[in-house]
Structure formats: structure tokens, C-alpha cells
């Protein structure tokens, strides 16, 4: 699901910054409040759904 959008960086507290995720992307990935995403920053920034191998194994049983 390719989404291209512009987001505004905003300050959270004294030492952190945040950016919001598009609702369409969150819904498409079936994410809810409290779910984790993984941020990979290496020349570009990649945000992907964090999957916990233990949770996957438990849910398949």
C-alpha cells in the first residue's frame, strides 16, 4: 500500500520529536493504540510494523 504524504515534525517534551502516521497506513496494518512499530534510519527512514516472534508463535498455537 504505497502512501506518499507530508508530515510535520513536532516537539514532545524537551529532548524528543514526533511525527504522526497516516490513518490509512495504521488501519491497513491493523494497528491499535499501544502496538509497536520499528524505525530504521540509515540514509532514509523506514517505519514498519514490529512483529514479536514469541507473539506470532503463541497466536499460531
Residue 26 backbone phi and psi in degrees, to 5: -65, -45
16 grid coordinates: 524528543
CB of 38 closer than 8 Å to CB of 49? yes
What pLDDT does residue 54 have? 59
Q: What is the pTM of this model?
A: 0.68
Residue 1: is its pLDDT beyond 80?
A: no
For 17-50, how does the pLDDT look when each residue is reduced to its tens digit (9 = 90+)? 999 999 999 999 999 999 999 999 999 988 999 8
Q: Per CATH, the architecture of 10-60 is what?
A: Ribbon (2.10)
Q: What is the mean pLDDT of residues 1-30?
A: 91
More confident residue, 16 or 54: 16
Domain regions of the chain by residue span: 10-60
What pLDDT does residue 20 have? 94
Amino acid at each position: 500500500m504505497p502512501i506518499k504524504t507530508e508530515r510535520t515534525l513536532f516537539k514532545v517534551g524537551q529532548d524528543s520529536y514526533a511525527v504522526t502516521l497516516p490513518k490509512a497506513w495504521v488501519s491497513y496494518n491493523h494497528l491499535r493504540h499501544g502496538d509497536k512499530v520499528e524505525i530504521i534510519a540509515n540514509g532514509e527512514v523506514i517505519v514498519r510494523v514490529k512483529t514479536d516472534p514469541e507473539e506470532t508463535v503463541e497466536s499460531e498455537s
